[in-house]
Amino acid sequence: MKTLYLDYAATTPCAPEVAELMGQCLTLDGNFANPASRSHRFGWKAEQAVETARGQVAVMLGCDPREVVWTSGATESNNLAIKGRVEWLRQQSPDASLHIITSAIEHKAVLDTVAYLERHHNVEATYLTPDADGLISPQQVREALREDTCLVTLMAVNNELGTITDIPAISDLLKDHPALFHVDAAQALGKMAVDVKAWNVDLLSVSAHKFYGPKGIGCLYVRREPQAHIACQMHGGGHERGMRSGTLPTHQLAGFGEAARLVSEHQAEDEARIRGLRDRLWVGLQALGDIYLNGHDTERVANHLNVSFGGVDGEILLASLAKVALSSGSACTSASVEPSYVLKAIGRSDELAHAGLRMSVGRYTTEEDVDFAISEISRVVALLRKH
């Protein structure tokens, strides 16, 4: 049975160039050594590969390579940025009042981290509510800003809706405030241009597997001038300039760097082609009627399409689409039977929130794939509505 993959927002396959390079860093006759082993040429060669990757990621982000701190992915990067900022401030002033601004539709890696700080570190948090299109406005941030606000943490692109936050406008209103600005950019890389200097952010989280790199590797951009001070969360050797200890996985980092290189070279052309495929999918599905777009019509990245179908049970719909791999929300919450908290936050009823599907196309999706998806989804929805 043919199964079509339309869940690129959850993860992407490694690009062939990435997989090939990673394979060259695993065996005895390859570049397998510990990059921290500086007493022999094997270690030197591995370190060179790691620093080449650091440079490639820096080019993709528009930053200095020394501002790239390796992590296991965006979840760890979010924890390092948010907990690290609060703990560094607590070290300076244990009894200081600390306030964080975030939104109600952030990824759980941010929401759960902020909730942890509220419970255990006497931090207050403001959760901004999106409008009906899933957008957080700079004005909302302005109105929530307080003298004791130490951090604003917002995602560049919502992982369920694909909606884009106006990061430059928010950073502009923070320019005269001591709060740091952290951005979860996991869903932005590879889908839109990301430039940390133009955005003027202090901290930015990245996962390689969202743009055809390997799983289990990512980075946190940490601004150097002026320095964004954070406390490390993993101790044991002082790697990554004291911000993140642990033996660096040469093969994953080489793959991460290659994926970043491909993004830097092909992002614009990929974006244009993928947008055309996404729009083709949306036009085809609208013929069903009683279908609702979740998120803003234009202020979203090219690959996301989140829609709710009227007149069907969401769980049965998802279970019936065995020939199309997609999701009812983020991959991290796909086991939940609750309606999407993101769709609820933008005002969808329980019924439409349950019947919401996130479809995401990518680099390897074809027009034939999209037409197959339209046909199969239309068939299943019509059958469920009939019965």
Burial (Cβ within 10 Å: 0-12, 13-18, ≥19) of residue 278 = buried
SS3 state at 57: helix
Residues 6+ apart with CB under 8 A from 303: 8, 9, 162, 191, 274, 275, 278, 360, 361, 362
* Spatial separation of the C-alpha atoms in residues 24 and 249, rounded to whole Å: 13
Is residue 186 within 8 A of residue 205, CB to CB? The reply is yes
- The shares of helix, strand and coil residues in the chain, as percent rounded to the nearest 5, are 45, 15, 40
Rounded to whole angstroms, what are the CA distances from 259 to 80, 157, 210, 211? 23, 19, 10, 7
Q: Name beta bridge partners: 155.
A: 184
Give the Å distances, CA to CA, from 141 to 81, 101, 135, 138, 165.
Answer: 19, 7, 12, 5, 12
* 145 in Cβ contact with 153 (< 8 Å): no
Strand order in the sheet with 304-309: 291-293, 304-309, 356-360
Structure tokens at 173: 């209103």
Residue among 108, 104, 132, 106 at smallest CA distance from 294: 132
At which residue do the structure tokens 């196309």 appear? 361
As beta bridge partners, residue 324 has 4
**98 - beta bridge partners?**
123
Distance (Å, whole) CA 181 – CA 175: 10
Q: Say whether 332 is catalytic.
A: yes
Q: What SS3 class is residue 154?
A: strand
- Burial class from Cβ neighbours inside 10 Å (0-12, 13-18, 19+) for residue 189 reads buried
Partner residues linked to 304 by β-bridges: 360
Q: Pick the catalytic residue: 150, 219, 232, 332?
A: 332
Structure tokens at 167: 């990061």
> Do 50 and 250 touch, CB atoms closer than 8 A?
yes
Q: What are the catalytic residues?
A: 332
